[in-house]
Chain A
Amino acid sequence: EKKQKSILSFFNKT
C-alpha cells in the first residue's frame, strides 16, 4: 500500500 506524502516533506517553510 502506498502512502500519500505531505508537500511539507519536500519543501521547507521560508
Chain B
Amino acid sequence: MFECRLPKAEVLKKTMDALKDLIKEAVWDVSAQGLSLQSMDSSHVSLVQVTLRTEGFDTFRCDKNIALGVNMDTMQKLMKCASNDDNITLKSEDNGDLLSLIFESPNGEKTSEYEMKLMDLDIEQLGIPDQEYSCTIKMPSGEFQRICRDLSNIGESVNITVVKGGVDFSAKGDIGNAKIHVTESSNVDNEKDAVTVEVNEPVNLTFALRYLNFFTKATPLSGQVSLSISPDVPLVVAYEIEDLGHVKYFLAPKIEN
C-alpha cells in the first residue's frame, strides 16, 4: 500500500507542468525515501530527475517499493482538476493498476476522487555520476527563463561563457547576433534576486535552446535556478522545491565535430 498527502496540490501541479512537455511517459518510483522519477526525452538529448522527499509530505506510507508508470499528459490533466489550495492524497495498492488522486478543499466541504490507469513501462535508467563542476551559477529563475526565450528569437543554440564575476549568454543566427551579460550581484537584500557565480575554471559551452526552454517550464517551482557547468559534460539546470525536493535537468552539449 502506498499513500501520501501534500498540504497543497499546487506544488505537484507545477511539477507536472515542468515535465509534461519534455517527457510523455514516466515511472514514479515510490520508496520509504519518497517519490522519484528519472526519464530521458524521446531524442535522448536530455534527462530529467525529480526527487520529492518523504519529509516534505504531511503523511507518507509506503509498505513496499513500487513503480507507478504514468502517461504524463493524463496525470497533468487530472492534476489540473485540483485547486491550488486543495490538499492532495495519492494512493495505490501494491499490485494495483490504478493511482487514486484525491483532492480536498481547504474547508473540507468538497472532496474529489479521480482514478488513473497505470501503465506497465520499461524505462531505461541512467546512472548519474556525482561530480564537481567547474562553474555554478545561481540566478533568479525568471531571469534565466527570459534569457532563453529572448535568445530563441536569434538562434537555435546558446553559447554560455562563464568567467569570474559574470556569465555571457550569446546566440547567432541568420538575422543577427545577441549577447546577454549577467554580472554577479555585489549586494543583494533579497536572496531570490541574487546572481552568484562560482568559478573553479572558466568554461565555454554550447547548448540547444529548444531544451532549455522546456526546462524553464519549472520556473514557477522556485525563485532561483542553478546552472552547473563543466567542459564537455551535460549542463545541470536545477530547481529546488522548498522543503520537498528538486527538479534537475541534464542537457548534453553541442560539440565541434
Contacts and interface: CB of A to CB of B under 8 A. Distances in A.
B253 interface: yes
Contacts of A14: 125-127
A12 B252 CA distance: 13
B174 interface: no
A11 B126 contact: yes
Contacts of A11: 47, 126-129, 234, 250
Contact of B255 (A2, A7, A12): A2
Interface residues of B, number: 24
Given A11-B47, A11-B128, A13-B124, A3 B252 contact: no
A14 B254 CA distance: 24
A10 B234 contact: yes
A13 to B, nearest CB: 5
Contacts, number: 58
Nearest to B44: A6
B121 interface: no
Contacts of A7: 40, 44-47, 126, 234, 250-252
Q: How many interface residues does chain A have, given as a range?
A: 10 to 19
Contacts of B127: 11-14
B206 interface: yes
B256 interface: yes
Interface string B187-218: 00000000000000000001010000000000
B254 A5 contact: yes
Contacts of B206: 2
Contacts of B40: 7-8
B89 interface: no
A2 B126 contact: no
Contacts of B208: 4
A6 to B, nearest CB: 5
Contacts of B256: 1-3
B224 interface: no
Contacts of B157: 2
A12 B254 contact: no
Interface of A: 1-14
9 contacts: A1-B257, A2-B157, A2-B206, A3-B257, A5-B252, A6-B45, A10-B250, A11-B47, A11-B250
